[in-house]
Amino acid sequence: MHDVNLGALLSLGWDARARALFTELARPELFPGRVVRVERSACVVALADGDHMAAAPIPVAVGDWAAVGIVDGAYTVTGVTDRWSQLTRGDPSGGVQVLAANIDLVLITAPADRLSPARIERETALAWDSGAQPVVLVTKADLAVDGEIDRLEARLAVVDVVATSVVTSTGLDRVRDRLRPCRTAVLIGPSGAGKSSLTNALVGEARMVTGSVRDGDHRGRHTTTTRQLVPVPDGGVLIDTPGLRSLALAGDGTGVQSAFSDIEELAAGCRFGDCRHEREPGCAVLAAAARGQLDQARLASYGKLRKEVAWEERRHDPRARQASLRQWKAVTRSVRSQPKKR
Ligand SMILES: Nc1nc2c(ncn2[C@@H]2O[C@H](COP(=O)(O)OP(=O)(O)O)[C@@H](O)[C@H]2O)c(=O)[nH]1
Ligand SMILES: [Mg+2]
Ligand SMILES: [Zn+2]
């Protein structure tokens, strides 16, 4: 492996961390590569000498560092390294789908002309669950109404917001800065948010198809061409995703806690340790909302996402269901009996 000329891999994020992980899979006849697109039971993998179609008998995700060998004359992924992060969403059958692997940043795109703070809050929770750091990019800032981005920033409270526009080039350098020296970022957000346009602007060529073509037609194909993962010339790697309609939380609730750390902090002052901030006496969160120090809609998002996580957990774990029943009974008792000792 030491003789391998790493060529194209260096611009795709190959670094000491990837090398250390790959070493655990390495055998002389295996090449390191990065998965740049996934198909049904195959993928496109970038090797040192360029892109190749490879069979994928094991589950792979875009961004995976893979060990690729030649089996029966065909490139084949024989293993993938442990992932240092992975962006997942729940799928309707109760499983999880890995949208991107080994990412450092989740860039949450939100078009200025149709901002949906609740969607951004959900995506921020999903992003924290991945192990990567979320940054909100308000795209199409050239279309923003005065004061709207500031209002969004105030509501989101605990996540960085960067305004961008490919029309005026606003904010592009701030995004470039965050990608250097070779960080991997995945772009998420609704269809039409400007993800592909942003990728093209940062990459400096039309690598992604943009515009009115829908992200998926009835055959389930995506307009994003060939690769989903592309190097940025100034350093960094971008993973484009199709606009996903459903983004069910698949984590254990820690993502919601991180996305709403402002509320979690307030909650330390609630009288009851297991306060749900709905109508409990001595609730510091409700008090802050009543004083106007916490956005009511933000509090509603938090409650909704917490319930969703709790519901998913019960659905997948009968013991959790029993425990939650016991806990609910205990809460009812404690609310009736005495306040928490402080
Ligand atoms: N005014 C304006 N329009 C943009 C900007 N970025 C993208 N668009 C337009 O928004 C539409 C959707 O962009 P696209 O990149 O395909 O979105 P995607 O579905 O998120 O990949 C296209 O018609 C773009 O021309 C921007 O910064 N300003
Ligand atoms: Mg697109
Ligand atoms: Zn409370």
- What is the pLDDT, as a whole number, of residue 92? 75
Q: Decide: 87 and 127 in contact? Cβ < 8 Å.
A: yes
CA-nearest residue, atom 14 of ligand 1 = 194
CA-nearest residue, atom 22 of ligand 1 = 211
- What is the pLDDT, as a whole number, of residue 122? 96
Q: Please state, in angstroms and rounded to a whole number, the distance separating the CA atoms of residues 9 and 28.
A: 18
- What is the pLDDT, as a whole number, of residue 218? 35
Provide the whole-model pTM.
0.87
CA-nearest residue, atom 2 of ligand 1 = 140
Please report, for residues 212, 246, 267, 312, 319, the alpha-carbon distance to residue 96 in angstroms, rounded to integers and kept in the order given. 29, 12, 30, 12, 20
- What is the pLDDT, as a whole number, of residue 37? 96
Q: Decide: 41 and 56 in contact? Cβ < 8 Å.
A: yes
Residues in the chain with pLDDT < 50?
A: 1-3, 212-225, 331-342
The pocket of ion ligand 3, defined by CB under 5 A, consists of: 270, 275, 277, 283, 285
Q: Decide: 188 and 245 in contact? Cβ < 8 Å.
A: no
Q: Decide: 317 and 133 in contact? Cβ < 8 Å.
A: no
- Mean pLDDT score of the chain: 87
- What is the pLDDT, as a whole number, of residue 254? 93
Residue 112's Cβ-side half-sphere holds a number of Cα atoms within 13 Å equal to: 24
Whether the bond into 59 is cis, omega within 30 of 0: no
Q: Please state, in angstroms and rounded to a whole number, the distance separating the CA atoms of residues 275 and 46.
A: 50
Q: Both tokens of residue 279?
A: 């109508």
241 Cα–ligand 2 center, Å:
7
Q: Please state, in angstroms and rounded to a whole number, the distance separating the CA atoms of residues 336 and 168.
A: 59
With DSSP H G I counted as helix, E B as strand and the rest as coil, what are the percentages for the chain, rounded to 5? 35, 20, 45
- Please tell me if the CB atom of residue 207 comes closer than 6 angstroms to any atom of ligand 1: no
Please report, for residues 12, 34, 237, the alpha-carbon distance to residue 19 in angstroms, rounded to integers and kept in the order given. 13, 12, 17
What are the structural domains, with CATH classification, of the chain? 8-80 (2.40.50.140), 86-239 (3.40.50.300), 260-336 (1.10.40.50)
- Please tell me if the CB atom of residue 142 comes closer than 6 angstroms to any atom of ligand 1: yes
- Please tell me if the CB atom of residue 223 comes closer than 6 angstroms to any atom of ligand 1: no
Q: Please state, in angstroms and rounded to a whole number, the distance separating the CA atoms of residues 180 and 186.
A: 14
- What is the pLDDT, as a whole number, of residue 123? 96
- Please tell me if the CB atom of residue 138 comes closer than 6 angstroms to any atom of ligand 1: no
